[in-house]
Structure 1
Amino acid sequence: MVIAVDGPAASGKGTLARRLAAHYGLPYLDTGLLYRMVARAMRDAGKDIHDAEAATVIVSTFDEKAFAEDSLRGREIGEAASVVAAMPAVRKGLIDRQRRFAGQPGGAVLDGRDIGTVICPEAPAKLFVTATPEVRAARRHKELAGRGELATFDGILADIRRRDARDSGRSDAPLKAAEDADILDTSALTVEEAVAAAIAIVDARRAG
């Protein structure tokens, strides 16, 4: 069973995907980390984050095990990842890695921006997780504050709107819900309510 979880930044998709993986006993992949790895590798190599040629070289050679997860978190690397994710060559270079993960015996849970539309279009269960920009900005602000990062709510909200526009407007694999995805708006839900709703969706898909 493959469960595809898509949605914009700070919608809650990562939390839901991890909880679904634990509930069903499936391996989990945060595909956004792959794009963050490419962005981090470019930063570490002193490359311009907008250099598509450099990104194309890095995406075919980077080692997923070479990065400490802490180095992949934070507002700046998230913005950089959104930039490289808009490059067709980068997305193409990461497709095989993601599909290999999804193809494991028994299935897997993957979250990202194009899992249900591009990576695993035949996945039997697809969720598109969303929330209002203001709610997502508040969540991200709390997360960053908890890590000691200084950022204003207004600045984070502007970042989220900019990333939404970039992710939804890119020509290759834009952020959008698959036609057969279930939409889950988490704006007014607690984490536990959202998890329960997600499990109910997946169970219904399995039964169907």
Structure 2
Amino acid sequence: MHKITIAIDGYSSCGKSTTAKNVAKRLGYGYIDTGAMYRAVTLYFHQHLVTLTNQKEVIKALDNIQIEFRRNPNDGRNETYLNGLNVEDEIRKLYIANKVSEVSAIAEVRHAMVAQQRKMGKKKGVVLDGRDIGTVVFPDAELKLFMTADPIIRANRRQIELSEKGELVDIEDIIENIKNRDLIDTTRKESPLRKAEDAIDIDTSYMTLDEQVETVCLLADEALSKAIRN
């Protein structure tokens, strides 16, 4: 059965991950949460007091990091495991969000994660979301999307997400976090966040989750038909 690779890039809190998960489920594809991978690395670095500017420390730490995704048998969610431990809830906390862009900007970290992502998705039939999927990880993906949304709406979504997990955070702190992450993501030297030339823009500011999923699935059907014809 012919399948394609779907690459979804864009800013944080635009709905990339949730949309990607639901699209993968609907299409029967695998889902690779690349953002969770960088968050897991950030958690490991935090726990082991890795100095981000010390190349030897970073490389040594990366050699000890094993990341995998496992499906929760109770609700079907993909959950992130770091060296055999479920870290799904911990990596979503704000203290990780405040550091992840800085960690993601390290060349050695990106090289290690990109290698893992390519290995996971080499057989196609996958949906990946992140910052450099369509530009670096899978530049030949049959469908590339670039998601954006109004920063205030993104902050509100993030606050709701955190509150649902019992973490109460002031909206101004979240807005500041989003601004900092956007700045680091778009200006870093290694694989900066940018739209691939052939990516399709999707502004999710006033779209429901169902509308986002439906839009991506329709575009996926078109991309699959095109790939089969070619």
TM-score category (smaller protein)? over 0.9
2:74 is the counterpart of 1:71:
no
Alpha-carbon distance between aligned partners in 2 of 1:52 and 1:37, rounded to the nearest angstrom: 18
| Distance in 2, Cα, partners of 1:36 & 1:205 | 30
Whether the 8 Å CA contact 1:5–1:115 is kept in 2: the answer is: yes
Q: Which moved more, 1:61-70 or 1:143-152?
A: 61-70
Q: Which residue of 2 aligns with 1:81?
A: 100
Verify the 8 A CA contact 1:132 1:187 in the aligned structure 2.
yes
Please identify which structure carries the higher strand content. 2
**Cα distance change, pair 173–4 in 1 and its aligned pair in 2 (3 A):** same
Match of 1:103 in 2: 122
| Cα displacement (A) at 1:204 | 1.9
Whichever residue aligns with residue 123 of structure 1, its letter is A
Cα root mean square deviation, aligned: 1.4
Task: Give the equivalent residue in structure 2 for 1:94.
Answer: 113
Among 12, 32, 35, the alignment partner of 2:15 is 12
Query: After TM superposition, which residue ranges in structure 1, 4 or more long, deviate above 3 angstroms?
Result: 48-53
Task: For residue 141 of structure 2, give the secondary structure of its aligned residue in structure 1.
Answer: coil
Equivalent residues, number: 207
CA distance, structure 2, for counterparts of residue 47 and residue 7 of structure 1: 28
Counterpart position of 2:73: none
2:151 is equivalent to residue 133 of structure 1:
yes
Correspondence for 2:142? 124
Identity %: 36
Contact 1:59 1:94 in 2 (8 A): no
C-alpha separation in 1, matches of 2:66 and 2:172? 36
Map residues 148-187 of structure 1 onto 2, 5 A cutoff.
148-187=166-205
SS in 2 for 1:161: helix
- 1:51–1:142 CA distance, 2 compared to 1 (3 A): farther
Verify the 8 A CA contact 1:50 1:84 in the aligned structure 2. no
Decide which structure has greater helix share: 1
AA aligned to 1:180 is D
Q: Which residue does 2:36 correspond to in 1?
A: 33
For residue 52 of structure 1, report the CA deviation from its aligned partner: 4.4
How far, CA to CA, are the matches of 2:16 and 2:55 in structure 1?
28
Letter in 1 for 2:139: P
**1:46 counterpart (45, 49, 58):** 49
Q: Quote the offset at 1:60 in angstroms.
A: 2.8
State the alpha-carbon separation in 1 of the partners of residues 119 and 125 from structure 2: 10
- Given the superposition, is the C-alpha separation of residues 123 and 107 from structure 1 closer, same or farther in structure 2, using an over 3 Å criterion? same
Shift of 1:150: 2.1
> Where does the alignment leave 5 or more consecutive residues of structure 1 unmatched?
none
TM-score norm. by structure 2 comes to: 0.85
Q: In the alignment, is the contact (CA less than 8 A) between 2:147 and 2:201 conserved in 1?
A: yes
Q: Secondary structure at the match of 2:89?
A: helix
2:97 and 2:177 in contact (8 A); partners too: no
